[in-house]
Amino acid sequence: MSEDEDLAAAWGADLAAADLPASAEPARVLNQAEIDSLLGFEDGPDGGEAISGMQRIISSGLVSYERLPMLEIVFDRLVRIMSTSLRNFTSDNVEVSIDNIVSLRFGDYLNSIPLPAMLAVFKAEEWDNYGLMVIDSAMIYSIVDVLLGGRRGTAAMRIEGRPYTTIERTLVERLIHLVLADLSASFDPICPVTFRFERLEVNPRFAAISRLSNAAVLGRLRVDMEDRGGRLDLLLPYATLEPVRELLLQQFMGEKFGRDSIWETHLAEELWSTRVDLDVVLDEQVMRLVDVVDLKPGDQIVLNTSVGAAVEVRCGSVRLFQAQVGRRKNHVAVRIEGPLERPPLPGPEA
């Protein structure tokens, strides 16, 4: 036997010699296929696109980020607005569609950008943070071809292995300004924000606007101009969206978090039925503590109130009414003369 078989035989003998109860079931030894299946290393029928087991558990935390329902509506508005603005910009039949909206780590996206591409860094003025727009080479050459009068029916020419020219960068910057204006208009129903173009990069390392491990939302847009077109990606880190996070968590436009109109109406109706204690204050005096301690049964406290003088009606420490003390049948009563002016609430210090 080989060395591995000798070790396996010795291990089995040790298990057999162990002091186990008679009813204990023998331990099952997993084969390599079962171990691979448990850890998720087993390839599926189509080349391993499906993962399972331990690998799924480990990787599940990588993309489990908070879903922002209103952000999907913002991107839907952006698609509609961009379709109109790009038609006016290119004088061509333009169709804009959204492929998907995903959450991922910023570093993972930077490593997956297909080069060559142009990366536009923009700033959200009101949120004081940055976003990233990535335009792939197909979109760049299509825009240049359309704006410079390229013939329809022919695919845009792509020349790889050279830097982008000044004309190409200038035309793409015009497209970027247009998309950022449309993105600002898409956010207007939720929160007014201005996206300002900062710089244009061709190297992803120089477009780092966030830590590589930070979470971000990626919206992939597809622009089709008859037989030409390309992709345009919008990346917004969660840190950038933090000032409007509660607004983006809404399920519908104008949703009020933590408020229910039915409950508010019921609470208001019940408040009107609440019983409160009213105090009639005849007089108030300030005494020294030593005089209060020296009070004995039989001592008199003289009230500085004459017969028929006005008294105050209070609820706790709140002054409500001015009243007159009288008698109704066999009970002492007060007659409310009018409300008292309440002092203004203290405002924030300047």
What pLDDT digit, counting tens, does each position of 250-279 carry? 776 655 555 567 877 888 888 888 888 888
Dihedral (C-alpha) 253, 259, 265, 266: value to the nearest 10 degrees?
Answer: 140
The per-residue pLDDT for 266 is 82
Note whether residue 128 is domain-resident: yes
Domain boundary among 8, 42, 61: 61
Q: Could you give the C-alpha distances from 87 to 13, 92, 156, 215, 226, in angstroms and in order? A: 79, 5, 18, 34, 12
Domain enclosing residue 279, as ranges: 275-295+306-339
Instruction: Identify whether residues 75 and 54 lie together within a single domain.
Output: no
Q: Which DSSP helix (H) or strand (E) runs through 129? A: strand 129-136
Note whether residue 143 is domain-resident: yes
Instruction: Identify whether residues 79 and 222 lie together within a single domain.
Output: yes
Distance CA 123, CA 236 (A): 10
Residue with token string 């609440």: 274
The per-residue pLDDT for 11 is 64
Q: What are the residue ranges in the chain where pLDDT is below 50?
A: 20, 22, 44-49, 60-64, 350
Instruction: Identify whether residues 191 and 128 lie together within a single domain.
Output: yes
Note whether residue 179 is domain-resident: yes
The per-residue pLDDT for 15 is 56
Query: CB 134: neighbour CB atoms within 10 A?
Result: 23
Structure tokens at 170: 């200038």
The per-residue pLDDT for 183 is 92
Identity at 163, one-letter amino acid code: P
Query: CB 215: neighbour CB atoms within 10 A?
Result: 18
Instruction: Identify whether residues 36 and 142 lie together within a single domain.
Output: no
Distance CA 316, CA 277 (A): 8
Note whether residue 350 is domain-resident: no
Domain count, the chain: 3
Domain boundary among 248, 263, 284: 248
Q: Is 79 in contact with 97 (CB distance < 8 Å)?
A: yes
The per-residue pLDDT for 323 is 85
Domain boundary among 43, 61, 79: 61
Note whether residue 2 is domain-resident: no
The per-residue pLDDT for 214 is 86
Instruction: Identify whether residues 36 and 90 lie together within a single domain.
Output: no
The per-residue pLDDT for 44 is 46
Q: Is 62 in contact with 105 (CB distance < 8 Å)?
A: yes
What pLDDT digit, counting tens, does each position of 166-204 carry? 888 999 999 999 999 999 999 988 888 999 999 898 888
